[in-house]
Structure 1
């Protein structure tokens, strides 16, 4: 039996309270590495054992099936698996199922009393929505680190309530996630790359990123910043991923490429060699953004630019799980994603509401600067936290320096946010700041009223 952390216990209690109050569709937002699978399994166990409910745990990747099944075994939860290549146990009250397989067998299966959708930010996909709509009376629990869709639709179309766990910063502070150092180059020029389904078109993206002059020398920076550490590299395409692995191998650093088209046994063997430390670099394309939980990963190498905040946070989250002997994670951002989406532990406001176009545009605003003197990358602040250089009021654009990684220092985040807020004098100032941060309009009014009340009290005194 696995004991829950205190915040997991609270999330479980809040979800059960929502169910008791009549909200049958509840989504849990908890950062990658925060333990969504464990707390969800705990709820499934209680529903199946204490209330004799039929429960489905649904996922969209084979790796997620293995992850959920292992957790169930660890917790002593009897279960069947409904997915290609697995022998099913139709009598088990709990079933771990592939979305694709379940969708094909809906007419042949008894209806569930409770459904858990893992990585539920994919809920808008056709098969997901079909399953969701088929059982309106079922209790539904959605699990995700990032309840946002690229098309701007909120999950409120499917869920009545959201229960939130601690932020990434809070999880790092309490030791549930690893501290990190983030290094980033100037962003690659993406102006010529068109978008499709809300993200960059893969072919055009590969043409730009599969070049050392644009991505920087990943091998060099790995040697410089985290030599000997196990790292997962995120590539644009299968060919790009193979090139990354080949470059590391040519430099004498053991590396392998894996992708979803490989033989399952061969892919599992490659992952096993990585876990054992026989392979140091595991390069992949669109495979390990979700459901690859190896706490010993000490570095993430980002070589795939994305407009998706969710994908970015999923990728860096692979390296943030704590492990014995792991003092900190290292993130090597050759794709400029941190310049677009910010730091992994930035304060973010999650909501079930749809996002307006202007808010989605604000999410793409570069939130970091590069010092004109020492080229340190940091949050906008009066002075560079590295060398103390005070930038002029008209801050120049980030100078492009191909292949040079500089560290993103998170220590300036709080200082910058406070400085921004001290500069707000009117409601319009607060509204502009709130829009830039992607907050709901109500945040600006609340902050303005708090400051006005404070000023009134000081004037009266």
Structure 2
């Protein structure tokens, strides 16, 4: 039975009462004000002190949310997860307060935003309901917004970025909004039919239940991985090769399976695929609507199973196999909870597009074990995917005149150049010249998709704009119409990036600047699936002087290691790649005018700093930054040198860097045929900032050295694989000490130009920075990066 209560005043009292018992609190309001935050902080702090989960979401619509209010939240309740929905002008008006009290769920929905007046004395109507089914439904909708791609984490970096936009917005208004605790007014807006919809896909079906060639190769590799006693692995398979079915075939080795993804469409499709391979097993969905926890195979939303309430209903060893789909998301906080809690017999990550293009983050998650990898160009060469004919069409738009916001162009400025009749006419002409029968067009915004669809329709074509706000047609219906030839084009924004396959699509149209190589690769994959009568996929791409226009070409390149790079990549023999002459000249000019790789490194750093909320460490930039970290050494000699060059250091840090630059370069550039130098340095650093420069003996370092290289299977396999190393797998203190004395101590001292000595059995660093915490910290960062990079490089060379 549902208990309902109308609340017209003093909502804060009810929130405080529920918070006293809550194990989870989720709040989503269209804006937050300092006054409201101050009212709620005491209750939130008590909840956080009990270890309960707190998530607070708000939005930037009309820039009413105060930057200071966000700052108070992250400072006063650091345990809470705070996120900001970037509306880009789309109305955003939710007001919901969710409390989980044991098995009971309480929902308050109404008119109250997070301001003092709304929570206490204002004219507000809210309804409180106690109903578990309703609570779970609202929770799912909350998570759909909270983890939407438009919703960013709130930290000091993102607040700083929002504050500049907030100030700029209000300076443009005829009356600058100045809010005070006594003068607050909650302005209510509503635009009917603008709520986001979630439409389930019809999952594809297969009639053949035996593995395909790519799946056979991957299964063999996974079985070999298990024989080598790995417990974690990643498989990278291009879109269209059947990575979900691969996971289903692999699951034959295990009794109970957990499959985790971030979208219900992926879960439903995976459930059907697994049941076709395992018809005698039970399968269940675990998400906001459905709680089927007893099945043999559970397909779980990461946001649902990642909450403490659901996570702790399972024992850590409840599953024999855990599969993480779309593994390029797996470094996120939501997936981290799942990985840290469960202890399966085997952990499998599957993806078509590993983030940052090179699997760097797999080392922290899968012990560096890439069991199998096949790029879409290789799959085309094996005739497992359709060839492509790529046409680079020149776009004379001057994107350099647009404001760059660190990871994207200012949307209003971008729209001003995109929503022009002459631009639309150029797109129609390029599409008409090269198209085949069924097209997906990727746009940069909903308004651009609507504009182009309308323009094409006015010119006699049958198109629709399909996006999160579409109400006139469901996604399955639109897909069916395109597949059946009733539509020429679907203009979309990001709906078809992952988890949706339409094999009959034979034309991909790119009418947006490329901001992410991962997204670009996903979108390419939408056209490469094979289908009856389909000989190849046409790709039509507008090439302008936007950022990454030249860099993105590397996703097609079958010869990425060429020392001399042409702007036109080498592609499989079955494929065609052609550019307008002006497009080629533009790409060459971009290469001449600037160093795109250097720019890419800087923007990757800035993006990651905003994502994390702090200055990334060297290893963090390597693992999670959208750039090749080898450029640090190439352009700046060391990571502190990079920070110095981009103006990230304060005056004290600059002075320290200049004084000890020679040491940082030595640690960064010293040769490493084995990991031994950095393992010894890591031992010295383990003694802390005050004593890391104390001299050591080989015998003293031997236990740490041996333990580090044998504690992980991949380290032992890589660096103890030769004749001498095999002898040392069984610990022998003198033998290990003799090895350390020879290499690295003797060799490093001989090549360090006096910075390092090994005399009379003592190994010593002559850095002159005892007790200097900055030198210690930067040395530690370089050391950890080099160790990680060394094993990563060795593992990749083995897997090739």
- TM-score, structure 2 normalization: 0.42
Which residue of the partner structure matches residue 97 of structure 1? 300
Specify the alignment match of 1:246 in structure 2: 454
Q: CA deviation at 1:22?
A: 3.0
Tell me the matched-pair count. Answer: 367
Contact 2:329 2:355 in 1 (8 A): no
Aligned partner of residue 133 in structure 1, secondary structure: helix
Match of residue 287, structure 2, among 83, 88, 106: 83
3-state SS of paired residue (1:296): coil
Correspondence list, 1:184-223, <5 A = 184-186=392-394, 189-191=398-400, 192-196=402-406, 198=407, 200=409, 202=411, 204-211=413-420, 213=422, 217-223=426-432
Find the aligned partners of 1:62 and 1:274 in 2 and give their Cα distance. Answer: 22
2:217 aligned partner: 10
CA distance in 2, matches of 1:377, 1:217: 20
Helix, strand or coil: the match of 1:28?
strand
Of the structure 1 ranges 279-288 and 12-21, higher mean CA displacement relative to structure 2 is found in 12-21
Q: What RMSD in Å do the two structures reach over aligned CA positions?
A: 3.7
Change (3 A) 1:120 1:152: closer
Structure 1 portions without partners, runs of 5+: 351-361, 370-375, 399-430, 446-461
**1-side partners of 2:278 and 2:306: how far apart?**
27
* 2:473 matches 1:268: no
Instruction: Tell me if the contact between 1:316 and 1:344 (Cα under 8 Å) persists in the aligned partners.
Output: no
Alpha-carbon spacing, 1:207–1:134, altered in 2? closer, same or farther (3 Å): farther
Separation in 1 of the partners of 2:340 and 2:414? Answer: 36
1:157 and 2:364 matched: yes
Contact 2:319 2:344 in 1 (8 A): no
Equivalent in the alignment of 1:347: 558
Greater RCO, 1 or 2 (C-alpha within 8 Å, sep 6+)? 1
Which residue of 2 is the match for residue 414 of structure 1? none
Q: Counterpart of 1:62?
A: 264
> Which of structures 1 and 2 has the bigger CA Rg?
2
Q: Is the 8 A contact 1:179 1:329 kept in 2?
A: yes
Give me the whole-angstrom Cα distance separating, in 1, the residues matched to 2:505 and 2:422. Answer: 27
Which residue of structure 2 lines up, in the alignment, with residue 354 of structure 1? none
Q: Give the 5 Å matches for 1:21-420.
A: 21-44=228-251, 46-47=252-253, 51-52=254-255, 54-77=256-279, 78=281, 79-85=283-289, 87-104=290-307, 105-110=310-315, 111-149=318-356, 154-160=361-367, 161-186=369-394, 189-191=398-400, 192-196=402-406, 198=407, 200=409, 202=411, 204-211=413-420, 213=422, 217-227=426-436, 229-262=437-470, 266-334=474-542, 339-342=550-553, 344-347=555-558, 367-368=567-568
Aligned 8 A contact 2:214 2:241 in 1: no
In 1: Cα distance, 2:286 partner to 2:535 partner: 39
> Aligned-pair distance for 1:232?
0.8
Higher alpha-carbon deviation: 258-267 or 216-225: 258-267
Deviations 1:325-351 (A, max 9, x none): 11111001125576431165423779x
Partner of 1:413: none
Equivalent residue number for residue 641 of structure 2 = none
Distance (whole Å) between structure 2 residues aligned to residue 164 and residue 313 of structure 1: 18
Q: Write out per-residue CA displacement over residues 59-105 of structure 1, whole angstroms, 9 at most, x where no aligned residue.
A: 112332233233224334442112234x4433321111222222232
Where in structure 2 are there 5+ consecutive unaligned residues?
Answer: 1-207, 570-575, 592-629, 636-668, 674-800
Whether the 8 Å CA contact 1:178–1:321 is kept in 2: the answer is yes
8 A contact 2:239–2:352 mirrored in 1:
yes
Give, in whole Å, the separation in 2 of the partners of 1:152 and 1:206.
34
Change (3 A) 1:397 1:112: closer
Match of 2:729 in 1: none
Structure 1 contact 219–247 (Cα < 8 Å) conserved: no
Contact 1:231-1:300 at 8 Å conserved across structures: yes
> For 1:263 and 1:101, how far apart are their aligned partners in 2?
27
Q: 1:121 to 1:319 in 2, by over 3 A?
A: same
Give the direction of change, closer, same or farther, for the CA distance of 1:193–1:143 in structure 2 (3 Å limit). Answer: farther
CA drift of 1:255 comes to 1.1
Report the CA distance shift for 1:366/1:174 in structure 2 as closer, same or farther (over 3 A): closer
Higher helix share: 2
Shift in Å, 1:12: 1.3
Q: 1:297 to 1:29 in 2, by over 3 A?
A: same
Structure 1 pair 90/130, CA: closer, same or farther in 2 (3 Å)? closer
Tell me how far apart the structure 1 counterparts of residues 357 and 373 of structure 2 sit (CA, whole Å). Answer: 22
Taking structure 1 as reference, are residues 136 and 186 closer, same or farther at Cα in structure 2, changes over 3 Å only? Answer: farther
Q: Is the 8 A contact 1:116 1:141 kept in 2?
A: yes
Question: In 2 relative to 1, CA 206–128 (structure 1 residues): closer, same or farther, beyond 3 Å?
Answer: farther
Residues 151-189 of structure 1, C-alpha deviations (whole Å, 9 max, x = no match): 996321212101233332332123211111111123654
The residue matched to 2:448 in structure 1 has which SS? helix
Partners of 2:566 and 2:513 lie apart in 1 by 13
Which residue of 2 is the match for residue 405 of structure 1? none
- Normalising by structure 1, report the TM-score: 0.69
SS of the residue 2:340 aligns to: helix
